[in-house]
Structure 1
Amino acid sequence: MRNKAAVRHLVDLLMTVVLILLMAYFLTEQEIHEWLGAGMLVLFIVHHLLNYRWIKALERGKYTPYRVVQTALVLLVFLCMLGSMLSGIWMSRYVFDFLPTQGQMGLARTAHLLCAYWSFLLLSAHLGLHWGIVLGAARKAAGGKPPVPARTAVLRALACGISAYGVYAFFKHHIADYLFLRSRFVFFDYEQPPALYILDLLAMMGLWMALSYFLGRALQRHTGQTAMQKEANS
């Protein structure tokens, strides 16, 4: 079980790294971008195979508000990733050029743009919803010591700083225009240092991770309080 969990975490980490590289499309060649996309496709399949039990259990158990949000988020991520991959395969000029895909390139490009940016946002939120597991593992690796208030305050301040910069980067790069197709072409500032663009992407990812993490905690706390109230009234 430990080995399987380690593999699962490794796959998730690789998907995160590849996602950032895919979003930094302007910093790579077309062929490299396609190979990264093909790698993401493989990781995407492996990820779902490793989480088969969770998928199989969807029909069982009670759906708390947290579980509803979690399941809806997974479904949306799946649909956006699928749309991004299928449209990418359709437009492929290198990796999948052997496939007989012709015509409708404009539609495929628009679908790829839309699905790619929503995948970035939703996958970031998906990571944030499970960030508690990462924090728990880190606490366990540190010997299971209780949280130090000063350290917790510093980490929260850091999260707020990253999120604030993420908001700035979100508007700086006009991400909402791509999410809602107000623009069908991505504009990139080639004078911006590549490292700064990567940091902008990481900050935006941190923003959505933080929002979903605290939303998840609020939903779990609400579910716990509701259960306690029901028990007290019974």
Structure 2
Amino acid sequence: MTVLLLLIMDYRFTGNAFHEIGGVVLFLLFIFHNVLNRRWYKVFFKGRQILSRVLMTLVNLLLVVTMVTVFVTGALISATVFAPLDIRSRSLFVHDLHQGAAFASFILIAIHLGMHWKMLMAKLKNWLHIDASSLGWVLMSRIISIVVIIYGIYASFTNDIGEKLLMQRVFMGWGEEPSLWRFLLDYFAIVGSYVGITHFLLGLLRKVKNGNFTTQTMLHKKAANPK
């Protein structure tokens, strides 16, 4: 889904027809993904609501809202797929809302991946038979992560991601012709930066939590066994 979203982020590269068809396919894949993971909704209010779980729930719910917004606004401004329904809106606000929701979905998908990155990397290492404890792998993964995060942050500013999220910039499609390879490099780096930062912050949160748990356990033991 992430790759397809990248392909349709700027229709100047693909044309409007592919942009709209790709958007419909993306939304169907999103629905299919949620159907496959419907168990998450069944246990929504069950179990202990720890901070990491609350954050993941918030991201997932926001992602559902933004994806539905992208699809609805996309249908309202459609010039191809939904054109026969004669529901097209000429409002610039609807265009800007479509763009803002699309970029919000883009960022939320990256954060969602970051929250599951440990599990995804474990599967990848097992599939490729990578020794995760080797010094070479550790150094290479750390260097690549740092480079991607730094460049992704830089690309976020040079591509005005903040303005697009806040709908402070008119609908994409006007201005100078962009470079496809620069676009792909920048946006893959932006995804990678959010994945990396999310993964790092969750790891830090777990360490703080485990540290507090260890400290509390030691205090309980001392209180139970005073010298």
8 Å contact from structure 1 (residues 121, 208) kept in 2: yes
8 Å contact from structure 2 (residues 96, 169) kept in 1: no
Q: What amino acid maps onto 1:77 in structure 2?
A: L
What do residues 5-50 of structure 1 show as CA deviations (whole Å, max 9, x unaligned)?
xxxxxxxxxx011111121322111011000001001101100000
State yes or no: 1:36 paired with 2:27.
Answer: no
State yes or no: 1:223 paired with 2:223.
Answer: no
Structure 1: gaps spanning 5 or more residues: 1-14
How far, CA to CA, are the matches of 1:102 and 1:174 in structure 2?
28
Equivalences, count: 219
Q: Residue 119 of structure 1 is aligned with which of 88, 101, 105?
A: 105
Structure 2: gaps spanning 5 or more residues: 222-227
How far, CA to CA, are the matches of 1:214 and 1:154 in structure 2?
16
8 Å contact from structure 1 (residues 65, 223) kept in 2: no
After superposition, the Cα gap between the structure-2 partners of 1:169 and 1:189, relative to the gap in structure 1 and judged at 3 Å, is farther
User: Does 146-155 or 193-202 show the bigger shift?
Assistant: 146-155
User: Does 69-78 or 90-99 show the bigger shift?
Assistant: 90-99
How far, CA to CA, are the matches of 2:145 and 2:15 in structure 1?
33
How far, CA to CA, are the matches of 2:143 and 2:4 in structure 1?
28
After superposition, the Cα gap between the structure-2 partners of 1:213 and 1:63, relative to the gap in structure 1 and judged at 3 Å, is same
1:60 corresponds to which residue?
A: 46
What TM-score does the superposition give when structure 2 sets the normalisation length? 0.88
Q: What amino acid maps onto 1:147 in structure 2?
A: S
How far, CA to CA, are the matches of 2:198 and 2:96 in structure 1?
27
How far, CA to CA, are the matches of 1:132 and 1:160 in structure 2?
17
Identity over aligned pairs, percent: 26
8 Å contact from structure 2 (residues 73, 94) kept in 1: yes
2:225 corresponds to which residue?
A: none
RMSD: 1.9
What TM-score does the superposition give when structure 1 sets the normalisation length? 0.86
Which protein is bigger by CA-based radius of gyration? Answer: 2
Shift in Å, 1:104: 5.4
Structure with greater helix share of residues: 1
Q: What amino acid maps onto 1:217 in structure 2?
A: G
